[in-house]
Structure 1
Amino acid sequence: MRARDIMSSPVHTVVQTSSVESAAQLMAAKAVTALPVVDGNGRLVGMVSESDLLWHRVPMDPTAHVRRIPDTDPAERPGIVSEVMSPYPLTTYPDVDVAEVAEAMLENDVRSIPVLDDGALVGIISRRDILRAMVRSDEVLAQEVQHRLDEYADGRHRWTATVDGGVARVAGDFLNDTEEAVVTVLARTVPGVAGVQVVAIAS
């Protein structure tokens, strides 16, 4: 399973010169926890998260034992996204395996990763996207694998797909090794499929 299989696209973005308030409104309206930040040419220049926006906006609790938020004069609070965003964000690419994306998220403690294709922002992956892909039932996975195989075979039912524990088993007759490899790749690209076993049955 690749990044392109689970990424959200098109991507909701915010311009680096946008106000902090407008970025917060967009996050709330789109129900996201982070937004890629782009320049005037649409080039990715950073990421801004809910915590970035809240950092200088939540008032201090004078009774709190731990001071987590700086006591900033309202007049000195950052007003635009470029002042609170994280520059040089971690990115990935459409062909990267989802397992690698998940590992990068955990290692770098990020919740969202933009997906770039030849420098262009084409999608974004959140931890929620990965979790959603991982928890699909075997029955749903088998149906989707079967659908892709039947489409590849021009509507004919040349192979039978079953899934057990996230591992797809594809049984049937293959014309050659190349066709077997293509079928394997098709099954593996279904989000949630952890592995593929191919069983060649001569007709």
Structure 2
Amino acid sequence: MRAKDIMSSPVHTVTQTDSVEAAVQLITARSVTALPVLDAAGRLVGMVSEGDLLRHRVPADPTAHIRRLPDTDPADRPAMVVEVMSPSPVTTRPDADVADVAETMLACDVRSMPVVAGGAVVGIVSRRDILRAMVRGDDVLTAEIQQRLDAYGGGKRWTATVENGVAHVGGTFQDDTEQGIVLVLARTVPGVAAVKIG
């Protein structure tokens, strides 16, 4: 499965000069965890996340603390996205393997990754997108694999069953090439952990 198969598109973005408030409104209205930040030419220059937007925005309640906290001047708070965004975002390509995308997300501790092609942001993949694609019942996986096999074989030449995410494909094959194609057809169904032939 590739990033393009599960990415959200079109992508909601902000610019460097947008206000922090505008970014907060967009994140909450669209129920996303982060937004790609574009420069005036439309190039990706950063990401702004819920965490970035929370910093310097939640005032401490002085009644909740034993010692008095210093007063903070609201004028000192960041006003524009460029002041709070994370520069040099971690990105991926539309044809990237979702397993590699997930591994990179975990290694870099990011919750979403822009999908970039030809210098433009064409989509975004979140951890939630990956989970939604991966966590599917065996019955759903069986039906999807069987549908692909029947379409390719022109009828019921093979039988698919899935148990705990592992697909089992039974039937006869004309040659190793056909077996390889069937293996790929089953393996590329989102949520399939492994495929066994025979």
TM-score range for the pair, normalised by the shorter chain length: 0.7 to 0.9
Question: 3-state DSSP class of the match of 1:128?
Answer: helix
Which residues of structure 1 form unaligned runs of 5+? none
User: 1:7 maps to which residue?
Assistant: 7
1:157 to 1:114, Cα distance in 2 relative to 1, 3 A: same
User: 2:135 maps to which residue?
Assistant: 135
Cα offsets for 1:64-88 (capped at 9, x unmatched): 48xxxx9752123222211111010
* Counterparts of residues 1-203 of structure 1 (less than 5 Å): 1-62=1-62, 63-64=64-65, 72-153=72-153, 155-199=154-198
Residues of 2 paired with 1:129 and 1:159: CA distance? 30
User: Are 1:60 and 1:71, in contact at CA under 8 Å, matched by a contact in 2?
Assistant: no
TM-score relative to the length of structure 1: 0.85
Q: Which amino acid aligns with 1:170?
A: V
TM-score relative to the length of structure 2: 0.86
Residues of 2 paired with 1:148 and 1:43: CA distance? 38
Q: Which amino acid aligns with 2:13?
A: T
1:180 to 1:108, Cα distance in 2 relative to 1, 3 A: same
Q: Which amino acid aligns with 2:178?
A: E
Residues of 2 paired with 1:148 and 1:74: CA distance? 59
Residues of 2 paired with 1:38 and 1:180: CA distance? 46
Q: Which amino acid aligns with 1:195?
A: A
How many angstroms does 1:91 deviate by?
Answer: 1.3
Cα offsets for 1:23-57 (capped at 9, x unmatched): 11111111111111122333211110111112121
Residues of 2 paired with 1:158 and 1:8: CA distance? 35
Question: 3-state DSSP class of the match of 1:175?
Answer: coil
How many angstroms does 1:127 deviate by?
Answer: 1.5
Which residues of structure 2 form unaligned runs of 5+? none
**Number of equivalenced pairs:** 194
Superposed CA RMSD: 2.1
1:71 to 1:32, Cα distance in 2 relative to 1, 3 A: farther
* % identical aligned pairs: 69
